[in-house]
Amino acid sequence: MFFLAAFYARRGGMSFSDEDRDFRADSGKKFPLDPGADTEAAFALVIADALRRDFGAVPARVKHIARLTGANPRTVKNWLQAQNGPSGAGLVVLMRHSDAVTEAVLQLADRHEEQHRLRGLRLERSLRGQLLSLLEHLGPE
């Protein structure tokens, strides 16, 4: 505190001059979340791939995803082109509607055991549906 008071007294006031205002370095560098991995780029690529797998190559997929998430169609196109990834709220909605996106997030988080459990549940659900369908075709005997 004493240092600041002495500095201001020496400058003749409480405000900085233009030459004193540049205290921060403006290098534009960012620290990655995980050293050795570009998390943001990997996130956008993995989510884009998952969206393409689950929603297919249908032209209406952009509108469908936009309706599901409440996002702008241009934003959804950016997700599909891996320009950027969805925000947290958009990601949660996508995970609610897409098993591929859920698996992709688990993969990015290195939660392989959860990913395998989810695949098992999905396979079990599929088999159960096929068995019910088969039983309906066989009829009561």
- Span 52-89, pLDDT tens digits: 998 987 779 999 999 999 999 999 999 999 999 999 99
pLDDT at 66 (0 to 100): 94
Q: Identify the pLDDT of residue 20.
A: 55
Query: Can you give the pLDDT at residue 36?
Result: 44
| Candidate from 33-47, 80-94, 115-129 with smallest mean pLDDT | 33-47
Q: In whole angstroms, what is the distance from residue 107 CA to residue 102 CA? A: 9
Please, are residues 84 and 78 in contact by the beta-carbon 8 Å criterion? yes
In this predicted structure, what is the pLDDT of residue 117? 76
Question: Bridge partners of 37?
Answer: 34
Residue with tokens 């998390």: 39
**How many whole angstroms separate alpha carbon 90 and alpha carbon 67?**
11
What would the pLDDT profile of 16-30 be if each residue is shown by its tens digit? 555 555 555 556 666
